[in-house]
Every structure is written in structure tokens, then in C-alpha cells.
Amino acid sequence: MIEDSFIESHVVRESGKNVAARFFAIFALLAVIVAVNIFGVAMFGFAVLSITLTLSVTLAFIFVTFFKRSYAEYDVEISNDNVNVAKILGQSSRVDLMDFSIKDCIYIGPVTDDRYKSDLEKADIKLAVTAKKDYPITEDYWYLTYKEENYICMLILEFKPEMYKVFRRYNPRNTAFYKAPVNKEPEKEAED
């Protein structure tokens, strides 16, 4: 009897912005809001205070929305032969990006494979679900290509060894060979 398989991966995309840059951006926003309000009151009196406050609140709203959007999280769920990829926006709402069957994949393999570059050029839709936007070309990243309607889609993800069994079970012909890493620990000699 074949057992069900379920693999879940949660990826937080590094935005590349450190804490100091975020602090500076917040400080700059507050300085602009204070300057706009003081300048408006000094130049035109208290009659424009409602306009400058409205402008300040709108600016703060845009700023908060931008910061929430810069934080990207992805969920990859592999349930038997079904792959579902979703993006979590602003740590609150979830948007499904891809949903396909492993059986429908044209090719599954590492990004170090010889055919990766040509598959990347042929793909109409590309989605990299990785911690870094510019991921390194190593065996740690695999890609899946499949055809949906008239589009060739490519999903690039951080590979986990348990995924390989699922890929081979549901699409053995189109899955690249995976050589599992061998633990290289020094062997202890048997004492007589």
C-alpha cells in the first residue's frame, strides 16, 4: 500500500533591508510629516492644518503599505502529486500563485542541470520561491516546469531530500537523478 506524502515548506524572502535602513526610513517619514505640518501652519495659518494632517495620514498609510508589501512569505505544499504555492501578503492575506500536479511536469531537476538555462528561456511564467531573490546556482535549488493552457511555467524552490521520493513516485521519467549526499565521518577501527 502506498502511503500518502505531505511536505510543507515556508520561505521568508530576505528583503535585503537591514534594521538601520528601516529605522532611517521611519525617522525620515516622521521628519517629513512634522515639516509639512509646521510649514503649512507657518505659511498659511491653522486653516490648512486639516489639509496637512490629511496629507500626513495618507503618506503614513502609503509608507506602511509599502513596508508590508516588501515583506514576502511563500508557502509550498506538496500533497501526494499536487503542488500548491501561495504568497502571504503583509502577514495577513494569502494568494494562491500555482497549483499543479507533479504528473504534469515536463521536467524536474536541479538548477545546476545542463538544460536549466534553456528551460528558463522557454518558460513564460517563472516563480522563484527562495529566501534570496538572486539564488545561487547550487544543488540546493530545484526547478519544476509544467504546461498550463498555452504557457510553460517554471517553479524554482529550495530542495529538501524528502521531495525527491515524491517527484520520482509520481513522475519518474521526467525527474533528474539525485545523488544523496553521503555522510563522511571517519570510520572507527574495530578493536580486537
Residue 112 lies in a domain: yes
Between CA 120 and CA 105 the distance in angstroms is: 14
Amino acid at 164: Y
Say if 187 falls within a structural domain.
Answer: no
The answer as to whether 189 is a domain residue is no
Is position 186 within any domain?
Answer: no
Name the average pLDDT for the chain.
83
Residue 183 lies in a domain: no
Residue 89 has pLDDT above 80, yes or no: no
For the chain, what is the total number of helices (H) and then of strands (E)?
4, 8
Mean pLDDT of 116-143: 89
Residue span of the structural domain in which 140 resides: 1-177
According to the 3-state scheme, what is the secondary structure of the chain? CCCCCEEEEEEEECCCCCHHHHHHHHHHHHHHHHHHHHHHHHHHCHHHHHHHHHHHHHHHHHHHHHHHHHCEEEEEEEECCEEEEEEEECCCEEEEEEEEEHHHEEEEEECCCCCHHHHHHHCCEEEEECCCCCCCCCCCEEEEEEEECCEEEEEEEECCHHHHHHHHHHCCCCECCCCCCCCCCCCCCCCC
pLDDT at 70 over 70: no
Give Cα separations from 8 to 11, 34, 96 (angstroms): 10, 46, 15
User: Does the structure show a pLDDT above 80 at 2?
Assistant: no
Q: What is the pLDDT of residues 154-190, one digit of tens each?
A: 999 999 989 999 999 999 999 998 877 666 555 555 4
Torsions phi, psi for 101 (to 5 deg): -100, 140
Task: Give the per-residue pLDDT at 192.
Answer: 44
Q: CB atoms < 10 A from the CB of 60, how many?
A: 14
Query: Domain for residue 163, yes or no?
Result: yes
Q: How large a percentage of the chain has pLDDT more than 90? A: 40
pTM: 0.70
**Amino acid letter at 70?**
S
pLDDT at 123: 93
Residue with cell 514576502: 72
**Would you say how long the chain is, in residues?**
192
Asked if residue 185 is part of any domain, the answer here is no
Confidence (pLDDT) at 64: 75
For residue 87, pLDDT over 50 is answered with yes
> What pLDDT shows up at residue 97?
92
Q: What is the mean pLDDT of residues 22-35?
A: 78
Question: Does the structure show a pLDDT above 60 at 77?
Answer: yes
Give the amino acid at 110: P
Answer whether residue 68 is part of any domain. Answer: yes
Q: How many folded domains does the chain comprise?
A: 1
